[in-house]
Amino acid sequence: MSGFSPAIASLIQALRVLPGVGQKTAQRMAFMLLERQRGGAEKLAASIEHALQVVGRCQQCRTLTEGEVCAICLDPQRAEQGVLCIVESPADVIAVEQTGEFHGQYFVLMGNLSPLDGIGPKDIGLDLLEQRLQQGHIQEVILATNPTVEGEATAHYIAESAARYQIDTSRIAHGVPVGGELEYVDHRTLGHAFQGRKKV
């Protein structure tokens, strides 16, 4: 016997849907919610249900948002810039926003091209992106996909699309992280840092 009563067992099972949560962590979470965090647990259940009801995709940039179009896409000052930053996920939008360096709009792929997994251009919204580039409001595209094999392939694919509409395209720089030490940086990153060196 596992010793758990059915409601506790199914709560533990349900918690395992969360990323990085295995059996032991799920047990700990379940007991803590039921022992000491009943108010928090109620709020959590309600927040999940509310978010599932109201959160969908932005029709323009595909990020997760309430309403049809997200706050960033609705901002006329951002549209004026004519710059589109291509990222893989809504979390990347938040990361770029936190730099304070970018004031244009985003396009969120929600993944990467991956032919082996059956993920083609349409699955990551590249048809929608193509329409957007065709409209002529975008003067510059910044490719901020991750420096993985899939991320690079996706960036390459989008760069070719943009070239067809004579849109300037750039890739964000990869190199030694600020505060990082050369000794501890992997060789591929260090390779990028040398290739991308700048005159001082």
Task: Give me the residues that bind a second copy (CB under 8 A), please.
Answer: 1-8, 10-11, 13-15, 17-20, 25, 27-35, 37-38, 40-52, 54-55, 64-67, 70-72, 89-91, 93-94, 97, 110
- Minimum distance, C-beta of residue 52 to a second copy, in the bound complex (Å): 6
In the numeric block, the tokens 């291509």 are attached to: 86
- Minimum distance, C-beta of residue 127 to a second copy, in the bound complex (Å): 19
Residue type, 74: L
Burial label for 152, CB within 10 Å (0-12, 13-18, 19+), is middle
- Other beta carbons within 10 angstroms of residue 132's beta carbon come to 19
- Minimum distance, C-beta of residue 26 to a second copy, in the bound complex (Å): 10
- Let me know: does 161 contact 130? Beta carbons within 8 Å: yes
For 144-194, strand residue ranges (E) read 168-171
Token pair for residue 165?
């509409």
- Minimum distance, C-beta of residue 116 to a second copy, in the bound complex (Å): 18
Buried b (16+ CB within 10 A) or exposed e, 169-188: bebeebbeeeeeeeeebeee
For a second copy, the closer of residues 5 and 135 by Cβ is 5
For a second copy, the closer of residues 86 and 133 by Cβ is 86
For a second copy, the closer of residues 133 and 145 by Cβ is 145
State how far the Cα of 167 lies from the Cα of 173, in Å rounded to an integer: 19
For a second copy, the closer of residues 98 and 135 by Cβ is 98
Burial label for 39, CB within 10 Å (0-12, 13-18, 19+), is exposed
- Minimum distance, C-beta of residue 81 to a second copy, in the bound complex (Å): 16
For a second copy, the closer of residues 43 and 188 by Cβ is 43
For a second copy, the closer of residues 90 and 129 by Cβ is 90
- Minimum distance, C-beta of residue 91 to a second copy, in the bound complex (Å): 5
